[in-house]
Amino acid sequence: MTVWISYKVHHALYHVPPVPNIPLDQYWGPGDSPETHETSIREYRITFKPEVVKDLLNRLENTNFYTEPLEGVSFQDGFNNNYLKEVIEFWKTKYNFNERENYLNKYPHFKTKIQGLDIHYMHVKPKVTKNIRVLPLLLLHGWPGSVKEFYGMIPLLTTPRKDYDFVFELIIPSLPGFGYSQGSSRPGLGPTEMAVVMRNLMERIGFDKYYIQGGDWGAVITSNMAVLYPDKILGYHTNNPNSATMLRIALKDSPAGLAAYIIEKFLIWTNRSWVELNDGGLIQLYTLTDLLDNVMIYWTSGCITTSVRPFSEIFKTFPADIEK
């Protein structure tokens, strides 16, 4: 039965449906759609406000839900509380909020209104010579990721390489309801509708044809873009063609709980065998600073609730007999 339900869920997510006709101007913001639409593009800076950092540190200092793990158990039953204490202590004493804020702002950030939503994105242009082609590339993150997951690859994609006559100009948005992009004020904004938002964003910035790449939700959204707008998509790549989805309640009040929940995904979704290790294998590929950068985007934007709404929206589209 479990295998059958899993198959039907997978089928519902990845079968090829008829191409829908989705309006380009569907309004997702609060209240009624205004008669005039804001089209300006504004510079944006990520900020860790002092009052937010103070509140965060107070919450971390007063975290008191630790339970000793079972003897001989590492991460097999979830995030190991002994290691969680180390993460929280690092966050309190070694995570440099000012330095990380500056790091996250090392690339240009912008916001613009798309279909009633304030959409945040990064726009990174390469420095090139006349003989190098510049190819526009839209990069979409998933859950529980953010634009932070692309920082390491930005220099690789925007720097000319020997024997290659092209580089990429990058557009890296926060998905609606994620990070610093506004969440929908009304139901119905699922991955297909987000594909429309991303199409409109690229048009607003000035791109008529472009390449797309996505993982997790980004994979579902870019897949929809390729189906809906084949005349605009020059090429489609995904690092997650068979991503599984899940639904989780919001984690807005406990930074320790949020960190444990999000960071655990980097363990389980990277190498399942790492659950046997006392540190979950996390420091084999990541630093706690890098992992907490991503958590900080979720915490300081308060987006954890809106970031899980796409799960609800896509499950609403499943066939009626999926639970049978």
Partners of 236 in the β-ladder: 212
> Per-residue pLDDT tens for 122-141?
999 998 877 899 999 999 99
Residue 192 buriedness (CB in 10 A; 0-12 / 13-18 / 19+): buried
3-state secondary structure 219-279: HHHHHHHHHHCCCCEEEEEECCCCCCCCCCCCCCCCHHHHHHHHHHHHHHCCCHHHHHCCC
Q: What is the pLDDT of residues 273-308, one digit of tens each?
A: 776 676 666 767 788 888 888 888 888 888 777 777
For residue 310, pLDDT beyond 60: yes
Tell how many helices (H) and how many strands (E) occur in the chain: 12, 7
Local structure of 286: helix, strand or coil = coil
Tokens 């964003």 found at: 201
Entry field: residues in the chain? 324
pLDDT (average), residues 162-168: 90
Is the pLDDT score of 244 beyond 60?
no
Enter the CATH code of domain 21-37+107-243. Answer: 3.40.50.1820
CB 5 within 8 A of CB 323: yes
Angle, helices 255-268/288-301, rounded to nearest 10 degrees: 130
